[in-house]
Amino acid sequence: MEILLVEDDSSHAVVIPHALEHHGHHVTVARTAADGKARLQQRRFDLLLVDYVLPDATGMSLLECQRGSLPTTATIFLTATDSADVCLTAIRAGAKDYIVKGTDYLRTLPARVAEVAGVRVPATAPTDGVVAGAGPRGTAHAPLDRMLGVSPEMVMLKRLTLRAARSDLSILIEGPTGAGKELVARAIHDLGPRSDKPFIAVNCAAVPPALFESELFGHVKGAFTGAVGDRRGLVLGAHEGTLFLDEVGELVLESQAKLLRLLQDLEFRPVGSDAERRADTRVIAATNRPLRSAVVQRRFREDLYYRLAVVHIVVPPLAERRGDIPLLARAMVRSFAPRLGLVAAPEIADEAYAQLEAHGWPGNVRELENVVKRTLADLESRVIMDFRIGAADGAKFKAERELVESLLLEHGGNLTQVARQLGISRPTLYKRLHQLGVNAEVYRRV
């Protein structure tokens, strides 16, 4: 592949070609924007790698000089800083992606270049890449790649996530529904010393209070009617791993007391057993409501709150990090397009980006996923000019999701009964669950 590298830094101008030529590419180096423009006019390149800051201009000028020529050269920006403004400006101008020149970027650069240029990655090349704002994949910080975003709020969230992973303390994650609390919990697990052990998630709101103790600690044969055999609970299932308690604020006080004993004494007793068991499980809890308010209202135990919130992380709603919306939308379009039968991921027009940034996003990232999927499903061109979104759409999405979740909870995750009550078929229900981002498994009763 013929690549034009526009890079003024002497060291990067040497090591980047070396890394790429090792994988069979031919790299031409330009040291200024003017030199880069001249070379683009002289011949055709398969890919343009350009530093954002150059001695005589910004790298943006090379994109501008290509406007009006078809086809334009696929472009990746290189930048020394993880800046949201730089990233958004580059993507909106037409860059395919941008890469932060971090400590390990050269190792993953060939695979990223191959992906953007649309060529097959050699079998000997690393298959991991660099996601905007996340740092290089294939490193110890790879789980942070899933947390897309370069806004100040996301940078801080990533730092807190990494810091929390280094300890073995209990963690409380607060944030609105659909903001990505479980994503943070999984990143903490994957970054920590228990990463090779199970990560078990349970939606506390979906577990009836009478079954909470059995669900968490298990039971022995004959412990109650219907206990025809011994059953391992979630604590044992997450032995040496992580137990993620989603919507912990929905637990009744009786269930809270049982959870408190586990956290306080690190011991538990299966229902119907006289034997104490030692717990070796890290507990991460999440809630979509401020638990401090619930403590003041005496709906949540204060002692349990302090046991859970040894480390406290708040996931911001999407509306508070609007700078990340274009990045998220672009990543989702790339991810969902092949699944929906599109040969290539469509481009996103500036007006469409503006439409996304203007929306309130009451359903947060989950709502954005739904909007992108619906838009791609109806798309008849190679460019997204507008997304299927609006104030009414957001309210309808939230209302429909809440209805489906309430029916799943009512029927214990029985999809046949839920489909019958909604008046739709099971296949249609499966499709709607996927579009709404609802996991029916967490609502299944014991």
What is the CATH topology of the domain spanning 393-443?
Arc Repressor Mutant, subunit A (1.10.10)
Alpha carbon separation from 53 to 4, 49, 74, 109, 130 (Å, rounded): 16, 12, 18, 19, 20
- CA-to-CA distance for 263 and 266, rounded, in angstroms? 5
Q: What is the pLDDT of residues 435-446, one digit of tens each?
A: 676 777 778 764
Distance CA 243, CA 375 (A): 36
pLDDT at 84: 55
Q: Are strands 199-203 and 171-174 parallel, antiparallel or unpaired?
A: unpaired
> For the segment 224-282, what is each residue's pLDDT rounded down to a tens digit?
767 767 788 888 889 999 999 999 999 999 999 999 989 988 888 888 787 788 889 99
Structure tokens at 230: 């011994």
Greater confidence (431 vs 24) lies with 24
Whether the predicted pLDDT of 141 surpasses 60:
no
What whole-number distance in Å separates Cα of residue 186 and Cα of residue 196? 12
Of all residues in the chain, the percent with pLDDT exceeding 90 is 29
The answer to whether 1 touches 119, Cβ cutoff 8 Å, is: yes
pLDDT at 120: 40
Confidence of residue 108 (pLDDT cuts 50, 70, 90): confident
Burial classification of residue 222, based on how many CB atoms lie within 10 Å of its CB (0-12 exposed, 13-18 middle, 19 or more buried): exposed
Under the banding of pLDDT at 50, 70 and 90, the label for residue 134 is very low
Q: What integer pLDDT is reported at residue 123 of this predicted model?
A: 34
What are the structural domain ranges in the chain? 2-139, 152-316, 319-389, 393-443
133, pLDDT greater than 70: no
Burial class (CB in 10 A: 0-12, 13-18, 19+), 364: buried
Element (H, E) at 178: none
**Integer angstrom CA distances of residue 286 from 182, 185, 220, 237, 314:** 8, 9, 29, 19, 10
Mean pLDDT of 167-189: 93
Mean pLDDT of the chain: 82
- Find all residues with CB under 8 Å of 2, minimum gap 6, and list them: 25, 26, 28, 43, 44, 45, 46, 47
Please write the tens of the pLDDT for every residue from 351-396.
888 888 888 898 999 999 999 999 998 888 889 988 988 655 556 6
CA distance 300 to 19: 56
Minimum mean pLDDT among 31-35, 120-124, 311-315, 426-430: which range?
120-124
* CB environment 10-43: b (16+ within 10 A), e (fewer): eebbeebbebbeebebebebbbebbbbbebbeee
Tokens representing residue 349 in the block: 């027009």
* pLDDT for the residue 82: 57
Rounded CA-CA distance 184/189 in Å is 9
Q: What share of the chain is helix, strand, coil (3-state, %, to 5)?
A: 50, 15, 35
Handedness of CA 313, 317, 319, 321 (dihedral sign): positive
pLDDT classification of 136: cutoffs 50, 70, 90: very low
User: How confident is the model at residue 365, as a pLDDT?
Assistant: 94
Q: How many CA atoms lie within 13 A of 97 on its CB side?
A: 20
Same CATH fold assignment for domains 2-139 and 393-443: no
| Whether the Cβ atoms of residue 226 and residue 181 lie closer than 8 Å to each other | no
Pick 319-389's CATH classification: 1.10.443.10, 1.10.8.60, 3.30.70.141, 1.10.287.110: 1.10.8.60
Contact 313, 184 (CB under 8 A): yes
**Tokens 């499903």 sit at which residue?**
377
Lowest mean pLDDT segment, chosen from 71-80, 110-119, 288-297, 364-373 = 110-119
Q: What is the CATH number of domain 152-316?
A: 3.40.50.300
Class of domain 2-139: alpha beta
Q: What is the pLDDT of residues 210-223, one digit of tens each?
A: 888 888 888 777 66
Q: Does the pLDDT value for residue 316 go beyond 60?
A: yes
When pLDDT is cut at 50, 70 and 90, the band that residue 22 belongs to is confident
Sorting pLDDT into bands at 50, 70 and 90, what band is 130? Answer: very low
Query: What tokens does 322 get?
Result: 């609007």
The predicted structure's pLDDT at residue 390 = 62
Tokens of 162: 């990494």
pLDDT over threshold 80, residue 65? no
Count other C-beta atoms under 10 Å from residue 227's C-beta: 15
